[in-house]
Structure 1
Amino acid sequence: MPNSLNHPSTLLKPEWVELIRRHAPEAETLGKLHPEQLELVYDQQWFNLLSPKEYGGLGTPLPDLIKMEEALAWADGSLGWVVTLCCGAGWFGGFIDPGIAQQIYRDKQACLAGSGAPTGTATIIGDGYIINGSWKYASGVHHATYITVNCNIIDGDRPVLDAKGGQLILPFVLDRADVRLISGWKYIGMIATGSDAYAVDNLYVDKNRCFEIDPAAAIVDSQLYTYPFMQLAEATLAANISGLAVHFIDLCKPAFDFKATNIRRVNAVNVLVMNEALQSATALLNQARESFFEAVEASWNNPKSEALLKAVSNSSRMLAKIARETVDELFPYCGLLAASPDTEINRVWRDLHTASQHSLLTFLD
């Protein structure tokens, strides 16, 4: 491993990791984070990693953020993903009306969740809007105090167009009490994210609930809120997939040892093959991780460079691809232990293969 690249575990206290992993099986049963996991998240302000310092958030620079998110995903995939998506929604605090933002972050357990899909409508009425619609896949929605929605803006019965002549789509921030949850997260992995759907029916909101995600529209004066949203999203998701892959690789050694000592057909030659595969996969993943971290750091130091931003996109997608491929190369050597849904290694495998389906990281340019 290169000297500049640390294992994700170096960012977390051992007692945090023990607590997170001890409650991970029950969190799957609950379909959301376990209360003790959630209490740790609140204590460490992980939902506020990207929230503005002006409102009591941490305002974490992106290079530091992705390393912490990788570490949390390494501790547990669902917890890392919920923190990433909810603190990502907390990033919107840099664009939300200050009066509303102060109201949101007055709560020390503030948590924003939402969906980026424009599957709702906001019809202009007086000084506000009437919102209708339903949205899927809102990770952490069961812990949310506020929920964001993307809406097609409508004036009467006509769509409002943006500057390019397309449908104008804008986000809104809503009180959790005004949103109806819909059970809908039924996938093999990331079960404890509770990424259920939600709906809003004929809800009136004032115009100050609407905001715009654009560097020129940032209300908080900080580089964090002028860094492009696309690369921020790609990098934070890739960091989670990387953390999951590192966790899987960590679990391979004990799985290989168990197989070598309990299955008669596994001889010394087979053990050598498994160990060489493990070393090769570890080196390949770490190379991709280092390239990824370097790309994010470079773009953060020069966020106006289109070439450096493109490198973040490319390295994020490449890291996700290599994480999937290295895990899948090692999986057959892990035996039935890795195929049992009751084992930690299987949960990590399921989480990685669910998280890596995210459309932002599917295709290489």
Structure 2
Amino acid sequence: MKEPSVANHPGMHLKKEWITLLREQAPEAEKLGRLTGRQLRLFYEEGWFKALVPRKYGGLEWSLSTVVAFEEAIGWAEGSAGWVFTLCSGAGWFGGYLDPVVAKRIFSPKKACLAGSGAVGGVAEELQNGQWQIRGQWQYATGAPHASYYTANVFLPAENKVRAIMLPPRAVNIQQTWKTIGLIASASESFQVACHEQSGLYFFDIDPDHPVVKASLYRLPFGALAEATIAANFSGMALHYMEEVAGLWAARKDVIHPFSGLVSKQPGWMGAAQKVYKMHWRQWQQARAQLFRAVEKLENYVNTHMTVPELSGDKKYLQRSMEVSKAAQHLSAACRQAVNNLYPYTGLTGAAMDSAIGKIWRDFQTGSQHALFVPGQ
């Protein structure tokens, strides 16, 4: 079967040597349960962990359109590397809401990388001696082993409110709880905090109407940004899977076995399978284009309305945000349907732990379990 073409294939955003490195290092990364030193070196050299960090703090400050395209590309290249980029670079976006002195301190190191959780997993109480007592446990902190700071949401009883917090590594106890079938090297471990700290803790609030850094990137709604970037990651993995399926089928031509001399004919189900493939390919292409358009529309609206003080209450801003959310959910569903409906046609190669297609399937199934993309929300 001839593989359909992809308009603006995500591979165009990556150098060939990057793709080769990420994929060749993947088996070793799975054994380690985290990205390899060579993979991480590429992240640091290219500044990928700082993709959404404000430029004034040494970040790249990519536009949402740029980062969504790159999310898809790196997810296509290698699942765990893509997942680490998605979650860790996404946390760098919080730099737009930090005190400038704090932000410079956190992001100035070349190996600065944030890991964390959006769950309200702990409590923070200020003591009479000026210290803070932090207690809690948070799950799924992607990239935890190589993080330079950790983010979390905590409840402050004295103020009866939830705030985000930055925690230094010394306050964090990483727990090796990441035992999934896929995205193994993303090292999305849990972490526990039970400490008294006077320095190194930084509270902040995410409010697109009042970012510390006055740039359009930080006036975007966090929900839409999160859904768009994660859905783009799914898209990259789903494309990689469909490409591997096409390659697997292409190898199923008439073959003469060297010992028996018998000829293996192409399976009788191939015609029906190809129809399923083409249908899902078309649906994926349409859903992908819809997300890219929605992201561009939201971004353009924010860029032209930077002077509006209360964007979060603006009707068109909310409408554009909802369009991104709906498009992300639609793309997620299209990717899930494509991968799940093509899986039965991949045979035992598709289920093998040591096959390329099997790894992509495992990575996709793990990532698509993200709480933001539960069907029917």
TM-score past 0.5 threshold: yes
The answer for the alignment partner of 2:181 in structure 1 is: 188
How has the CA–CA distance of structure 1 residues 258 and 346 changed in structure 2, closer, same or farther, with 3 Å as cutoff? same
Matched, 1:311 2:323: yes
The answer for the alignment partner of 1:276 in structure 2 is: 275
Residue type matched to 1:187 in 2? T
Match of 2:13 among 11, 14, 38: 11
CA distance in 2, matches of 1:97, 1:108: 20
- Which is worse superposed, 128-137 or 75-84? 128-137
The answer for the alignment partner of 1:119 in structure 2 is: 121
Structure 1, unaligned runs of 5 or more:
162-167
Per the alignment, in what secondary structure is the counterpart of residue 58 of structure 1? coil
The answer for the alignment partner of 1:230 in structure 2 is: 223
How has the CA–CA distance of structure 1 residues 4 and 220 changed in structure 2, closer, same or farther, with 3 Å as cutoff? farther
Match of 1:348 among 346, 357, 360: 360
Q: Is the 8 A contact 2:284 2:334 kept in 1?
A: yes
Per the alignment, in what secondary structure is the counterpart of residue 213 of structure 1? coil
The answer for the alignment partner of 1:164 in structure 2 is: none
The answer for the alignment partner of 1:143 in structure 2 is: 146
Q: Is the 8 A contact 1:97 1:208 kept in 2?
A: no
Structure 1 position 239, deviation (Å): 0.6
Match of 1:176 among 169, 172, 183: 169
The answer for the alignment partner of 2:63 in structure 1 is: 61
For residues 243-258 of structure 1, what are the structure 2 equivalents within 5 Å?
Answer: 243-258=236-251
For residues 1-365 of structure 1, what are the structure 2 equivalents within 5 Å?
Answer: 5-126=7-128, 127=130, 129-155=132-158, 160-161=159-160, 168-206=161-199, 209-261=202-254, 267=266, 269-303=268-302, 304=314, 305=316, 306-364=318-376
How has the CA–CA distance of structure 1 residues 351 and 176 changed in structure 2, closer, same or farther, with 3 Å as cutoff? same
Structure 1 position 62, deviation (Å): 0.3
CA distance in 2, matches of 1:276, 1:266: 19
CA distance in 2, matches of 1:350, 1:3: 25
How has the CA–CA distance of structure 1 residues 128 and 362 changed in structure 2, closer, same or farther, with 3 Å as cutoff? same
Per the alignment, in what secondary structure is the counterpart of residue 34 of structure 2? coil
The answer for the alignment partner of 2:306 in structure 1 is: none
Structure 1 position 364, deviation (Å): 4.3
Q: Is the 8 A contact 1:318 1:364 kept in 2?
A: no
Per the alignment, in what secondary structure is the counterpart of residue 319 of structure 1? helix
TM-score by length of 2: 0.89
How has the CA–CA distance of structure 1 residues 258 and 96 changed in structure 2, closer, same or farther, with 3 Å as cutoff? same
Structure 1 position 254, deviation (Å): 1.6
How has the CA–CA distance of structure 1 residues 267 and 205 changed in structure 2, closer, same or farther, with 3 Å as cutoff? same
Q: Deviations over 1:257-301 (max 9, x none)?
A: 234446977547533333332222211111110011111111111
What is the CA RMSD across the aligned residues, in angstroms? Answer: 2.1
CA distance in 2, matches of 1:131, 1:291: 43
How has the CA–CA distance of structure 1 residues 4 and 20 changed in structure 2, closer, same or farther, with 3 Å as cutoff? closer
Residue type matched to 1:310 in 2? M
- Which is worse superposed, 78-87 or 210-219? 210-219
Residue type matched to 1:40 in 2? L
Residue type matched to 2:215 in 1? S
Q: Is the 8 A contact 1:5 1:290 kept in 2?
A: no
CA distance in 2, matches of 1:117, 1:59: 25
- Which is worse superposed, 93-102 or 276-285? 276-285
Q: Deviations over 1:146-188 (max 9, x none)?
A: 1112101022xxxx33xxxxxx111111111221101100111
% identical equivalent positions: 39
- Which is worse superposed, 77-86 or 211-220? 211-220
Structure 1 position 317, deviation (Å): 0.6
Q: Is the 8 A contact 1:49 1:57 kept in 2?
A: yes
CA distance in 2, matches of 1:22, 1:321: 29
Residue type matched to 1:331 in 2? Y
Q: Is the 8 A contact 1:117 1:150 kept in 2?
A: yes
Per the alignment, in what secondary structure is the counterpart of residue 217 of structure 1? coil
TM-score by length of 1: 0.92
Q: Deviations over 1:6-41 (max 9, x none)?
A: 111111111110110001111111111111111111
Q: Is the 8 A contact 2:71 2:233 kept in 1?
A: yes
How has the CA–CA distance of structure 1 residues 212 and 78 changed in structure 2, closer, same or farther, with 3 Å as cutoff? same
CA distance in 2, matches of 1:190, 1:50: 22
